[in-house]
Amino acid sequence: MSQELQPAYLSQQSASIQELHESHPDIISRQATINIGTIGHVAHGKSSLTRALTSVDTVKFSDEKVNNITIKLGYANAKIFECRNSECTSEQRYFTSKSDTRDDVPCPKCEHPSTLIRHISIIDCPGHDDYMTTMLSGAALMDATMLLIAADQPCPQSQTVEHLQAITIGQNQNPIIVAQNKIDLVNETQARQNYSQIQSFLGAALQNKAAPSIIPISAARNLNIEHIINEIVKIPVPKRSLDKPPRFVSIRSFDTNRSGQSIDQMQGGIIGGTLIEGILKVGDIIEIRPGIIETTKEKTHKCYPLTTKIISLKAEGNDLKYALPGGLIAIGTMLDPALTKSDKMIGQVLGYPGTLPDIITKFKIKFYLLINKDQEVQTFLSEELGKLTKCGSEILITVSGCNVSAIITSEDAIVTGNGSEIEIQVSKPICIPDGVSIAISSKGLGHLSKNWRLIGYGIPVVQKREPKQQENIEE
């Protein structure tokens, strides 16, 4: 007899694997199936909106609380319910609640029965320029985005521009919701002027794309949040490739054991991340690649992929029998927790043995330069692109939520930024899932920025090789 899932009042996930889909009641009872990112300039209200929607404070780490800014990616899940009372207005019909809320919760306004219709995961990204690389890792996981723009500052701010660029990498057509936040801090005239600035900015930045709705809100005072919820409900639930072998990307890992804990009470390492495709089940045998990486004196990497068993699956505090793509999933394993502590597994790819991508350190990409709406930056990129992409130049690539430094190794390549093919060598072995776009950042912008700045994206041109248990990779 299988162990009861906790909380016990939620679905016990009795449906067969063949029955499952993204909106199945057994799934959305316990886990999110759509990832929605919050993006925008620092202190424009991303964490406040996340808290208003989910009742979860994503500012959890000590250094974040001291500075009152988001530094690491924050995840918070919420269920969306629809009131069955026909007298409820369209603005009042939908409401959110925590991820572990009962599926039959009554409407808080009229106390009529409601229906669970969505389970979403909010990815709260840092807005500070210093943490742009963290934002890029989150952008790779988003199905839709909420762009926060503060009404008490001119639009656009620098990170407003760069964040919007990041989510359009690779011709991304994911839905965008725009929130004009902090309307409680300005008068009507100022709010209207700022609204016009936002319209002009979006029209230029999105070009041929349909302009998204702009919703004036105050996240701190919970004003107009119901209109944000109404827009979220309109977002189509992404159709996932559930019939494919599972592909899971690790964005954090940790050891839950406490110092002095007895051996018989110790648990295996935990890996947290996002399932890109397929379905994972408790009891599955999975491979982790690249696995353990050794670097020899000859600068050769030896990779030892790991194999382990899934002992548990969790979405926030909810136990799972099986997991579908969406939200942050924690995988309990039989790995030595020393391998997973302190985020040692970030960037690893998990899946069934023999189905994962090749382990590589050198590969070719087709490079595309992003058009920057900051004229000074755009002029610099146009004039200095040859220097930024010459042989030996250092770049940062972001692939499937993982940031890796790299060196351009192409010799005598003429880079136009419009599909030019260049070769790069990364600092450590990685796995690149098929069909992904790679964000490319540079520190070579001189006086314009001391940090990594997004300059373009790449489409990998990867030659396939047969997977091996031990892979020797020469640099």
Most confident among 93-102, 159-168, 357-366 (mean pLDDT):
93-102
- DSSP category for residue 459: E
Closest CA to 20 of 349, 305, 285, 275: 275
| DSSP label of 250 | E
**What is the CATH topology of the domain spanning 247-351?**
Elongation Factor Tu (Ef-tu); domain 3 (2.40.30)
| 3-state SS class at 357 | coil
**pLDDT tens-place string over residues 336-370:** 999 999 989 988 999 999 999 999 999 999 888 87
User: Is residue 473's pLDDT more than 80?
Assistant: no
Q: In this model, does residue 23 exceed pLDDT 90?
A: yes
Tell me whether domains 247-351 and 359-474 share a fold. yes
Could you give the CA distance from residue 316 to residue 329 in angstroms, rounded to a whole number?
8
pTM: 0.88
Identify which of 231, 131, 142 has the alpha carbon closest to the alpha carbon of residue 178. Answer: 231
| pLDDT bucket at 382, cuts 50 / 70 / 90 | low
Kindly indicate the confidence band of residue 142, based on its pLDDT and cuts at 50, 70 and 90: confident
Cβ pair 432, 347 in contact under 8 A = no
Amino acid occupying residue 118? R
Determine the residue type at 241. Answer: S
Domain positions in the chain: 34-234, 247-351, 359-474
Q: Kindly compute the dihedral angle of the four CA atoms of residues 383, 385, 391, 397, in this order, to the nearest 10 degrees.
A: 160
**Residue whose C-alpha is closest to residue 80's, from 36, 48, 39, 46:** 36
Q: What is the pLDDT of residue 446?
A: 61
Residue 164's pLDDT band (cuts 50, 70, 90): confident
d(CA 116, CA 82): 7
Greatest mean pLDDT range, 1-5, 190-194, 370-374, 386-390: 190-194
**pLDDT tens-digit readout, 403-430:** 889 999 987 666 666 778 889 999 999 9
Local confidence band at 71 (pLDDT 50, 70, 90 cut-offs): very low
Q: What is the pLDDT of residue 375?
A: 63
Rg of the chain over Cα atoms, rounded to whole angstroms, equals: 23
Helix (H) or strand (E) holding 196: helix 188-206
CA distances from 280 to 170, 268, 342 (A): 28, 18, 24
Calculate what percentage of the chain has a pLDDT beyond 90: 54
**What is the C-alpha separation between 93 and 110, in angstroms, rounded?**
10
Return the pLDDT at 373.
Answer: 53
Across the range 198-218, mean pLDDT stands at: 87
Range with the poorest average pLDDT among 140-154, 357-371, 387-401 = 387-401
* Position 289 pLDDT exceeds 70: yes
CA distance 341 to 365: 33
- In 296-343, the DSSP E strands lie at 300-309, 312-315, 318-320, 322-323, 329-332
Q: Is the per-residue pLDDT at 61 higher than 60?
A: no
Interatomic CA distance for residues 68 and 81, integer angstroms: 31
Please choose, from the candidates 245, 270, 266, the residue with its C-alpha nearest in 3D space to the C-alpha of residue 257: 266
Pick the CATH number of 359-474 from 2.40.50.110, 3.40.50.80, 3.60.20.10, 2.40.30.10: 2.40.30.10
CATH second-level architecture of 34-234? Answer: 3-Layer(aba) Sandwich (3.40)
What is the rounded CA–CA span in Å between residue 213 and residue 202? Answer: 10
Average pLDDT over residues 251-264: 89
Asked if residue 74 has pLDDT above 50, the reply is yes
Residue 198 has pLDDT above 80, yes or no: yes
